[in-house]
Amino acid sequence: MNRKYRKPLIAGNWKMNKTPTEAKEFMVNFKGILPRSRWCDIALCVPAVCIPAAVRAVRETRIAIGAENCNANASGAYTGEIATNMLVDAGCKYVIIGHSERRAMGETDQDVNAKVKAALEAGLTPIMCCGESLEQRESGITEEWVTIQIKRGLEGIEAESIRKIVIAYEPIWAIGTGRTATPEQAEEVCELIRAIIRKQYGAKIARATVILYGGSMNEKNAFDLLAKPDIDGGLIGGASLVPEKFVKIIEATNQPAV
Ligand code: 13P
């Protein structure tokens, strides 16, 4: 983290977990143990049906609610899809875009790019995900792969919008596997992502961009990951489902600025 230029963000991704009733229960417990100090921004991205209950439960707190996906179109014949203005109206502040689990269902870099643009236009903060598979890492193409994902994902987006985007580096081999990237491995790619942004948009924008790490981040390894200068927070799956664990990760952002 580098607090001088960026406010850390701890974001949860519940994936396909919890009912609206369970979401409400979680928020009540979470609010009860959330530290008062504002070391970081906090977001919970929840299943679409949980959004109303979650938004109601966190009213007048600093917890932001987000969605896990959106459609790039404004409205129309897209059965089962949800537009960005619907998410805003429901009270969302964030939306995860291009998670590897959605890319595995066929989402392309072009889809990601269109969704990021739609989210920005609606006033949502997109959390744009990237990351390599184990096979790609082992064949030494991580850098090349992540560079392509970032460049295509951000194509055609104006410089002044870049600072409104959060980027999450999530190596696929670390997601849900308990096999976390080492702080050095995670930092190496987060640093690369910042360098890509610096080259394309300049040092000032690169310094202001929030870059998260995700992949088996938990209450035990968060402190060491967050100690790295280019890791500005986390996108947390499993550990965001348990209020006590999520709070411990938030507390791990309380460390001296690098
Ligand atoms: P886990 O923290 O469960 O590995 O999930 C990470 C993730 O995919 C967050 O988007």
Taking CA atoms, 238 is separated from 13, 30, 44, 63, 221, in Å, by 8, 15, 12, 18, 14
Residue 99 annotated in active site: yes
Alpha carbons 191 and 209: distance in angstroms, whole number: 11
Question: Is pLDDT above 80 for 257?
Answer: no
Q: Say what the pLDDT of residue 258 is.
A: 54
Q: What is the pLDDT of residues 237-251, one digit of tens each?
A: 999 999 999 999 999
Does residue 141 register a pLDDT over 70? yes
* pLDDT tens-digit readout, 152-168: 999 999 999 999 999 99
d(CA 158, CA 164): 11
Residue 17 phi, psi dihedral angles, 5° rounding: -135, 145
Report all structural domains of the chain as residue ranges with CATH numbers, in order of start.
9-251 (3.20.20.70)
Q: What is the average per-residue pLDDT within 206-218?
A: 97
Q: Which atom of ligand 1 approaches the CA of 15 most closely?
A: 10
CA 235 – ligand 1 centroid, Å:
7
Q: Give per-residue burial for 185-203: e unless 16+ CB within 10 Å, then b.
A: bbbbbbbbbbebbeeebee
60 included as an active-site residue: no
How far is 138 from 157, CA to CA, in rounded Å?
A: 32
Neighbours of 244 (CB within 10 A): 11
Q: Which residues line ligand 1 (CB under 6 A)?
A: 13, 99, 170, 175-176, 214-217, 235-239
Question: Could you tell me how many helices (H) and strands (E) the chain has, helices first?
Answer: 12, 8
pLDDT at 204 over 90: yes
Mean pLDDT of all residues in 183-200: 98
Q: What is the DSSP string of 75-117?
A: SSS-TT--BHHHHHHHT--EEEES-HHHHTTT--HHHHHHHHH
Would you say residue 174 has pLDDT above 70? Answer: yes
Nearest alpha-carbon partner for 14 in 5, 22, 6:
22
As a whole number, mean pLDDT of residues 163-177 equals 95
Pick the residue whose CA is nearest to atom 7 on ligand 1: 237
Quote the pLDDT of residue 165: 98
Cα separation, 13 vs 246, whole angstroms: 11
Distance (Å) from CA 91 to ligand 1 centroid: 23
d(CA 43, CA 46): 10
pLDDT of 170 reads: 98
198 contacts 154 by C-beta, under 8 angstroms: no
Task: Return mean pLDDT, the chain.
Answer: 96
Pick the range with the lowest mean pLDDT from 1-5, 232-236, 253-257: 253-257
Residue 16 Cα to ligand 1 midpoint, Å, equals: 12
pLDDT band at residue 212 using 50, 70 and 90 as cut-offs: very high
For the CA of 218, the closest atom of ligand 1 is 2
Q: How far apart are CA 209 and CA 190, in angstroms?
A: 11
- For residue 103, name the pLDDT band (cuts at 50, 70, 90): very high
Q: DSSP assignment, residue 176?
A: T
Give the atom of ligand 1 at the shortest distance from the alpha carbon of 238: 3
pLDDT digits (tens, 9 = 90+) for 43-77: 999 999 999 999 999 999 999 999 999 999 999 99
Which two structure tokens, joined as six digits, stand for 160? Answer: 């002044």
pLDDT, position 217: 97
Candidate list 101, 132, 170, 187, residue with the active-site label: 170
Report percent pLDDT > 70 for the chain: 99
Whole-structure pTM over 0.95, yes or no? yes
User: 256 C-alpha vs ligand 1 centroid, how far in Å?
Assistant: 26
pLDDT at position 5 is 92
CA torsion sign, 196 to 201 to 207 to 213?
A: negative
Q: Whose CA is nearest to atom 2 of ligand 1?
A: 237
- Tens-place pLDDT, residues 1-41: 988 899 999 999 999 999 999 999 999 999 999 998 888 99
